[in-house]
Amino acid sequence: MGKVRKTRKNTFNYSVNRKKLRRRAKKKGAPRITCDELRNAWDPMKSVAGNLAEMGLVADPNKALPIRQPMMIGEQSKVRKPYVVEELKAAASVPSKKTMGISTDMVMYVRHMVENYGEDHKAMARDEQNYYQDTPKQIMRKINLYKRHHPQEYQALIESRNKVQQS
């Protein structure tokens, strides 16, 4: 006859601080800092406000906006990492490569409308190719979007339409 195995019950561990565990788990699950400049200078042992103050940035804009009194001679600023602000300025001055494009369907739609109707938005709204039943104002917005993204092409469309009307 074999021995009876005793299973151990799950007992509550009184020596573990649940509140501290929850805080640690919440901190680990915090979102990742996507900005390279901030991530490199970030100190995980400091608070958000403390980290930003060291970098010369502000956590609360309401505290930064009031007019500050001139600093005393003995008082020094808390900015210990001014290079972060310089890197952020340099990154902001670089033109972005991502621009909101226009779909090819929209380009074809706008070209068709401008070639056939010019600036008559009400006639465009009655066109057969207006599948989505855009109102004249919606069509005008689409044309303005096309103008912003392709100004030379739009100018060429208008000029070719004027030539066709004159002849």
Lowest-pLDDT choice from 16-20, 51-55, 77-81, 87-91: 77-81
pLDDT tens-digit profile of 108-160? 999 999 999 999 999 999 999 999 999 999 999 999 999 999 899 999 999 99
81 and 141 share a domain?
A: no
Buried residues in 67-80 as b, exposed as e (16+ CB within 10 A):
eeeeeeeeeeeeee
Helices (H), 29-95: 36-41, 48-55, 61-64, 83-93
- Placement of tokens 């919606």 in the chain: 138
pLDDT tens-digit profile of 96-107? 766 668 899 999
User: Number of helices (H) and strands (E), helices first, in the chain?
Assistant: 9, 0
- The arithmetic mean of pLDDT across residues 89-95, rounded, is 85
46 and 89 share a domain?
A: yes
84 and 108 share a domain?
A: no
89 and 108 share a domain?
A: no
- From residue 24, how far is each of 48, 61, 122 by CA, in Å? 15, 28, 62
46 and 72 share a domain?
A: yes
- Out of 50, 73, 93, a domain closes at 93
Contact (CB, 8 A) for 158 and 114: yes
70 and 123 share a domain?
A: no
85 domain residue, yes or no: yes
- Output the six-digit token pair for 102: 């226009």
User: Taking all residues of the chain, what is their mean pLDDT, rounded to a whole number?
Assistant: 86
Instruction: Print the domain residue range for 149.
Output: 104-166
Per the structure, how many domains does the chain have? Answer: 2
Radius of gyration of the chain (CA): 32
